[in-house]
A and B are shown apart, each in its own frame.
Chain A
Amino acid sequence: MTAPQIEVFLQTLIAGFLLGGLYALIGIGMTLIMGVMKIINLAHGELMMVSMYIAYWLFTLFGLDPYLSVFVATPVMFFIGVGLQKFLITPVLKVDSILPENQVILTVGIGMVLSSLAMLFFKSDYRSTPVSYATSAWYLGDYWKGSPIELSLSVPWTVSFVFALAITAGLWFFLTKTDTGKSVRATSQDPQAALMMGVNVDRMRMLTFGLGSALVGAAGCLFIPIYYLYPSLGGQFTLIAFVITIIGGLGSTAGAIIGGIILGVFESMTATYIGMGWAPVGRFAVFVAALIFLPGGVASLARKRKLGK
């Protein structure tokens, strides 16, 4: 490989990694909900879109930096999630119907309402938050004068990535170090046993849906400085989240992180070497391959290694 080729390759890899970190955050929210409630939330991306509009308006009306709106949008999204769980999803779980997929279809309905309401109120315009640092970047050459290749690191992408990392670490701390977090995990593994331990399982489910929504909401705030916002953007991110959970293994947070990064790198590579438009196809190719060849996701591989000989 010549120097420019290496440059392109490394730059693509970096971009994929940064993207993957954000994807992971979206995926974790989905996988958490799937693990605890055993339902697939197809309104996940639409929840992210709602959060992006919150960040957008906070920026446009009050000049609030999108990174600061994480602290506003995330709690709002949490309560939206709790409400959805309490008033829509719980009732459906109790209804007897021919098709058990009803709850999945229900979340599709929720997504449709959210995205078309956004369309109604905000039109289908593409919006973005023109922050001052939008195009700034760090260059390798500035730090290492004699570098044979030149690489750059976009400031907003990196900041978003670091935020995503911090949120993930915070979540990890919550899930492993606090009693409530442990109760959430216990509920996902064996709700009845959790009940016997004194866990209010229904409340954990609401908390989880809220938490999943809050996480994807945070991801929305991190995406807005680097991405366009339009009402129908949710569907694509729902699929991304789902693909990540399949690659990572259902309900596995660590799996979702790896899944997010695999997907981010893969998409970035497809975009560079095959063509921009094909990135989604690559995404689905990974998805279908994971479904067929790795039914338990990356998490199952790790488990096998630990158990087997």
Chain B
Amino acid sequence: MILIIFSFNDTKGRTFTGFTIKWFVQLFHDAAALDALWTTIVVALVSSVIATVMGTAAAIGLEKMDTKLKAVVMNLTYIPIINPEIITGVSFMLLFVTAKKWLATMGIDFQFGWATLILAHITFNVPYVILNVLPKLRQLDQSLVEAAMDLGCNPMQAFLKVTIHEIKSGIVAGFLMSLTFSMDDFVVSYFTTGAKHQTLSVMIYAMTKKRISPEINALSTVIFIAVLAVLVTVNLLERRNEKRLKQGSLKWKGGAAR
């Protein structure tokens, strides 16, 4: 723990020795950095949304599927999670290069870029959504769905009005996890990025291969503060929620005693 804080102190320290905010200013004027940030966010958002929708649907289907096929699909699903990242990255590169060549023979120009990044990110994100949603579906009290139908819902309405609420926490967790992994990913992006846009990670990687600019420290500082802010807010929100819940149940206890 000390090391973590220490290491960031250090980077910050280096940033502030003499240079002050010049590098921050520069960072925010650096078109490439801003573009990378934008790319990272777009790729993360788009891929997480698609992964969440597809993963949720997949989980629902898988839950109903017969065990053999399900086992096969689940094994495939584990692959992106447990396969070494570099192999995932490399295999995507091979896939997209092959696709590019094949499409070129048909006269279609296909370039590495957002599309490849997003496709790759979706693929390594979907498993996280599935693994988050499946347990929720398994815990889902089937009688809730039946109750909804009993009360007049057709199957689709039952899903929208009941099932989705029940598995919401899984879906949200899957989405957030996707978002995080997608933002943080370097290896897969490295092998699937295009010439036009780079993700932040790829850009940082390139930066580490160049003359070290204090910009990178400024960037660390900015990201660190952003992350800290997000985490603290989430934590505070959670704590408040918890308190509220506790109060709620206390009230209820009081009610029971009466």
A and B interact physically: no
